[in-house]
Amino acid sequence: MLLAIDAGNTNVVFAVFDGDSKQGQWRISTDGRRTADEYAVWLTSLMTMKGLRREDIDAAILGSVVPAATFNLQRLCRDHFGVEPMRIGAPGVRLGIEIRIDNPREAGADRLLNAIAAVATYPAPLVVVDIGTGTTFDIVDRDGGFCGGVIAPGPSLALDALHRVAAQLPKVDIVRPATVIGKGTVGAMQSGMFWGYLSMIEGLLTRIEAELSPTGDPPVTVIVTGGLGAQFAEATSMIDHIDNELTLRGLLLVHQRNTAS
């Protein structure tokens, strides 16, 4: 079985695959100080609850955008599962997608994995909107190559910053207000976070589509992923698909491409 690890800025997600079938999935908050032993105690306990044993794992793959966490996640695989993890971005690991940006090393593992899984599932050209710690737009051209994107702060990050620097502004939840015009401070902040971010998403998608497919033929497919993706997708007609499994599927695909006989 394959242990797939997606280390993002907010959470580390673990999944176990038996072939194409996912047997379990778990997440823990990202902490660069967490040791391999701590990961092992937590993860193996959860695996046991699913009837999985550490001996069942015979391969691992890691995608990380958190260098401080990468070392201990690699040690987790080596010391507690007895496997050397394949790492996205390591020399010799074939992604199966052409990276058409100025410096391919700058592309984060999560963005590449989203693009890899998306182009294997949906028609290109396409845009993956990942709403998490940051809001990223990962773009695949009509020939199936990763050609760049857009990076902006995520709504939760922006809201936390607003609360920290403005003494009179409370910390509020991100919800969809019934009206754009807020009748109080909380309503006004929620409108800014929800409708403001949705307007940014729609505006950027409009500009991206104009550059990616100026005539509209072929049409651009838009996929949203990430913790807040579904909430925003329900309020716009510009998003075609909600898919929160992209990054893990990307890890699975890369491992399969590099181990196929």
> Which residues are known catalytic residues?
110
Residue 114 in marked binding region: no
Q: Write out 233-248 in H/E/C secondary structure.
A: HCCCCCCCEECCCHHH
Cis amide prior to 218 (ω within 30 degrees): yes
Nearest to 138 by CA among 147, 126, 130, 149: 149
User: How many degrees, rounded to 5, is the angle at CA 176 between CA 203 and CA 170?
Assistant: 105
Q: What are phi and psi of 97, to 5 degrees?
A: -145, 140
27 appears as a binding residue in the annotation: no
Question: Annotation-wise, does 185 bind a ligand?
Answer: yes
Q: Is 72 annotated as a binding residue?
A: no
250 is in an annotated binding site: no
Q: Is 142 labelled a binding residue?
A: no
User: 102 labelled as ligand-binding?
Assistant: no
Tokens for 108, please give them: 């984060």
**172 known ligand binder:** no
Compute the C-alpha angle 261/4/233, nearest 5°.
115
Angle subtended at Cα 180 by Cα 178 and Cα 186, rounded to the nearest 5 degrees = 80
Q: Is 109 a known ligand-binding residue?
A: yes
Binding residues for ATP are 6-13, 133
Binding residues for K(+) are 130
Binding residues for substrate are 108-111, 185
Binding residues are 6-13, 108-111, 130, 133, 185
